[in-house]
Amino acid sequence: MAWIVLTFITFIHIAKYNAQLQRGEQEHLQFGNFKEFLNHLLNISQVLSTVNVSDSIDCAFQCLANVTCLSFNFDISPNSSSTLHVCHLLSTDKYNHSIAFVRSDQFHHFTIASPCDSSPCQDGGQCRPLYDKNDFVCEVCFGARDDSYGKFSIHKAGKISAFKLAHRSGFVSCKLSADKGSNWGCILSYKGQICTHMTDASNVSLVNNLNLGIHGCYQLPGFDHNSPEIELSLSSPIGVRAGQEFRIWYGEDLYNKDDSDNHGKSCVDVYGFY
Ligand SMILES: [Ca+2]
Ligand SMILES: [Ca+2]
């Protein structure tokens, strides 16, 4: 039994030798497949270390030798006093900081190659690499009105007994200006409750709660409207097939109850417990 990320598209063969990154004390072979983005810079302040290198290959080796390095910025011009170039080693990547990935006359950017390069995620969901599997996770985003549910497809058949939703960004709100928004709920009228639903493709909620209000909010023991993640246990495991669609809805939008004054969009990662 294990939590499995549901929203990544799995390549048929995830052999270790397909990985774009392999390192660690137990590994006999270390390598990283870096992709070059000319005249670009990941402009973030969290720099692991700054090193002087002879060329970008040297910088790639420095990054590979640092277990937390995932990308680097390479200064195109050498230092004024030597032939060496400045190289900033970074512990994150442009997929997790897309806004900070900008054009630059001074730097080239290099990041470990990933399926995210082909922008595989739909509906504005961010793509985040799983480097050691050459795989990726797509976020699922859902709004609060106008049937703006988020959808995803199951990639592995089996029986699922629970779903976990991990909040990544954004918020949903049940009333413009009066409700400043939260990860899952409606602070204005249902503070502490969850108003987010998993449904099947027919919009039938998987939430089995006898106290479900007309706005689609409910108590979920151990979690509240702003929990970083929520777990939805099913009353009994459900059989799922590969490719089967599921949806994430905001309660008022799902039940068409007072949703015209809602706003916001919340983005999550979805996990299934098989
Ligand atoms: Ca509302
Ligand atoms: Ca609706």
Q: What is the pLDDT of residue 69?
A: 92
Residue 102: CA atoms inside 13 Å, Cβ hemisphere, count?
7
Q: What is the pLDDT of residue 102?
A: 97
142 alpha carbon, closest ligand: 2
Residue showing tokens 């929990």? 227
Residues by chain with Cβ below 5 Å of ion ligand 1: 174, 258, 261-262
Averages of pLDDT over runs of 10 residues in the chain (274 residues) are 40 39 57 88 94 94 90 94 94 92 97 83 74 77 95 82 91 89 91 93 84 88 95 90 90 95 92 82
Q: What is the pLDDT of residue 107?
A: 97
Q: What is the pLDDT of residue 226?
A: 95
179 alpha carbon, closest ligand: 1
263 alpha carbon, closest ligand: 1
Q: What is the pLDDT of residue 105?
A: 97
CA of residue 223 to ligand 2 center, whole Å: 25
Strands of the chain (E only): list them. 3-5, 21-22, 31-32, 34-37, 40-42, 47-53, 71-75, 85-90, 101-103, 107-112, 127-130, 135-138, 140-143, 150-153, 158-173, 196-200, 229-240, 245-250, 263-273
CA of residue 124 to ligand 2 center, whole Å: 20
261 alpha carbon, closest ligand: 1
- Compute the chain's Rg from CA coordinates: 22
173 alpha carbon, closest ligand: 1
User: What is the number of residues in the chain?
Assistant: 274
**Which residue type is seen at 191?**
K
Q: What is the pLDDT of residue 26?
A: 52
CA of residue 264 to ligand 2 center, whole Å: 14
The pTM of this model reads 0.65
203 alpha carbon, closest ligand: 2
CA of residue 267 to ligand 2 center, whole Å: 18
What is the four-CA torsion angle of 117, 76, 88, 44, rounded to 10 degrees? -60
262 alpha carbon, closest ligand: 1
Residues by chain with Cβ below 5 Å of ion ligand 2: 147, 253, 256
Q: What are the distances in angstroms from CA 111 to CA 71, 72, 88? A: 4, 7, 12
